[in-house]
Amino acid sequence: MTDSIDEVMPLLPQPQRKGPTPLPKLQLAIVMLVQICEPLTSQSIYPFINQLVSELDITGGDEKKVGYYAGLIEALFFITESITVLQWSRASDYIGRKPVLTIGLLGSAISMLCFGLSRTFWALVVSRCLTGLLNGNSGVMKSTLADLLDSSNRAQGFAYIPLIWATGASLGPLIGGSLSRPQDRFPKTFTGRFWADFPYFLPCLVTAAFVFFSFLVVLLLFKETVPQRTKKDDTRLEGHDAENGENSQSAKPRAPLPLRELFTFPIIISVSNYFALAFLNIALAALLPLFLAMPLEIGGLGLPPFTIGVILAVYGCTTGLFQVSFFSRLVRRFGERRVFIFGLSTCLPIFAILPLISLVAQKSGLTFGIWILVGCVLVLGAMMDSSFGAIFMFIVASAPKSSRGTVNGLSQTTASISRAIGPVLSTSLFSLSVEWNILGGYAVYAFFFILSALALLLARRLPERVWDEED
């Protein structure tokens, strides 16, 4: 009897293990096009903002005040974004992703043009605030990505986010630095009074043109990912269900939940970990170029701007390549929680290596060993960014599908707050550590080392597997 069963069983159809769902390449490419607009608009002003502020009457000719006013303008983007990103994201749950994406892109393009045409400090403030207020796409974009993907291909799709961000963060300063004051750099091409009166309009124009192109692509090619039905469609559906004896309520998409009902443990712990990661990441992003630029005697490496630019470009490329090459494989092999904790744990050696580099450089100069240690920091930083994709997957899984926009808006609000205060805190602590010789001038690294350890304790509250997605 057993033999006969053994002979028959191989003839029965065996269950096939499904592979990952193919990525929706066109729609995914459009979302990535939207994603790159945020670092372009936020960071394209960095190369010329200090010079622009110094040319205004706000400083009274005191160069020491330039950093204060320039820092305020840089922070305004993220401050104002944090105020409205939740509202834009929540609106996308009701009216759809596409309308919000198009409004955000068009508003960002117009406000960038206004920034380039501003000739007073307060005009710069107003135009920069408009850029942040109208740009709710950072949260909506992640919700759109979650709509397009499922649990089988989400890791593969989310791996592109750090790559696209790194690309935009590299192109933005390149546009701002190479195209500012075009009448001085390209006198034969840019003649006329206009370019003398508005020497920083060209980089803003190029950035705005790219954002407007993205607006047209979304308007013409992007397909809405949130199910929207007209009253006529609902009436016809209800009539069809009634004829077949079905409950029409089960076929309708659920309405977004009230905000107070979204403060559940899965959402709170996911968003809290995202805030901790974003804060440490932006603090490092502000601290690293400052560390590279400051003289050896005050704890830096004293490198010229060109060398620093090359290092940061290598860092961006390394980050992007690492995510695309390894992130989805790491998630499949180890799971989202382990990938997140591993990436976050790299903060500990990073903040330990930086003071070590300074001590060795002060003793021996810029030796080959120094560059090896700098390379280690860059590699660890690339690994750190893998945590973003992992925590995005926790956030998406914790959110009810009807309220993805709201939950992603909450997470992006915390990220915007961290990006507003993180750079100011890290660079100020660097100056205070050096000025008051706290812990030999290295107190800033001890502070962030401790914060990294606390962030790891918070990360351990995440479950071994992401939550089952709710309807």
- pLDDT, residue 243, reads 47
- For tokens 């016809």, what's the residue? 236
The answer to whether residues 284 and 184 belong to one domain is no
**Among the listed residues 117, 112, 128, 132, the one whose alpha carbon sits nearest the alpha carbon of residue 70:** 128
The answer to whether residues 63 and 177 belong to one domain is yes
Domain boundary pick from 200, 222, 244: 222
- pLDDT, residue 206, reads 95
Q: Is residue 18 part of a domain?
A: no
Q: Is residue 155 part of a domain?
A: yes
- CATH value at residue 396: 1.20.1250.20
The answer to whether residues 177 and 49 belong to one domain is yes
Rounded Cα distance between 55 and 50, Å, is: 9
The answer to whether residues 212 and 331 belong to one domain is no
Q: Is residue 229 part of a domain?
A: no
The answer to whether residues 193 and 265 belong to one domain is no
The answer to whether residues 216 and 276 belong to one domain is no
- pLDDT, residue 232, reads 37
Q: Is residue 233 part of a domain?
A: no
pTM: 0.77
Query: How many separate domains does the chain show?
Result: 2
Rounded Cα distance between 236 and 251, Å, is: 12
For residue 356, which amino acid is it?
L
Q: Which tokens sit at 133?
A: 């207020």
DSSP 3-state of 33? helix
Q: Is residue 2 part of a domain?
A: no
- How far, in Å, are 59, 76, 373 from residue 203 at the CA level? 24, 19, 35
**Among the listed residues 323, 102, 310, the one whose alpha carbon sits nearest the alpha carbon of residue 213:** 102
The answer to whether residues 200 and 274 belong to one domain is no
Domain boundary pick from 222, 245, 274: 222
- pLDDT, residue 4, reads 46
CA 456 to chain centre: 21
Q: Is residue 32 part of a domain?
A: yes
The answer to whether residues 279 and 371 belong to one domain is yes
DSSP 3-state of 228? coil
Contacts 24+ apart (CB under 8 A), 424-431: 424/71, 424/75, 425/283, 426/283, 426/284, 426/286, 426/287, 427/286, 427/287, 427/290, 430/287, 430/290, 430/291, 430/294, 430/299
Domain boundary pick from 222, 253, 274: 222
The answer to whether residues 267 and 413 belong to one domain is yes
The answer to whether residues 296 and 214 belong to one domain is no
Q: Which tokens sit at 454?
A: 């606390």
The answer to whether residues 216 and 124 belong to one domain is yes
Q: What is the mean pLDDT of each run of 10 residues along the chain (471 residues)?
A: 45 53 90 90 79 75 63 79 88 90 93 91 89 81 87 83 80 82 86 88 94 96 72 43 46 71 91 95 85 87 78 79 86 93 97 96 91 94 90 90 86 87 84 88 95 97 80 52
Q: Which tokens sit at 49?
A: 């903002």
Q: Is residue 1 part of a domain?
A: no
- For tokens 């070590």, what's the residue? 356
CA 255 to chain centre: 28
Q: Which tokens sit at 3?
A: 């033999």
**Among the listed residues 114, 317, 97, the one whose alpha carbon sits nearest the alpha carbon of residue 200:** 114
Q: Is residue 362 part of a domain?
A: yes
**Among the listed residues 206, 183, 170, the one whose alpha carbon sits nearest the alpha carbon of residue 46:** 170
Backbone angles phi, psi at 178, to 5 degrees: -85, -20
What is the three-state SS of 325-341?
HHHHHHHHHHCHHHHHH
- Classify residue 439 as left (phi > 0), alpha (psi -120 to 50) or beta: left
- For tokens 């660890």, what's the residue? 380
For residues 416 and 77, the answer to whether their CB atoms sit within 8 Å is no
- pLDDT, residue 1, reads 47
CA 273 to chain centre: 15
22-36 burial, b for 16+ CB within 10 Å, e for fewer? eebeebbebbbbbbb
The answer to whether residues 199 and 269 belong to one domain is no
Rounded Cα distance between 435 and 151, Å, is: 51
| Residue 248 neighbours by CB under 8 Å, 6+ apart | 237, 238, 241, 242
- pLDDT, residue 240, reads 45
Q: Which domain holds residue 208?
A: 23-222
Rounded Cα distance between 308 and 84, Å, is: 34
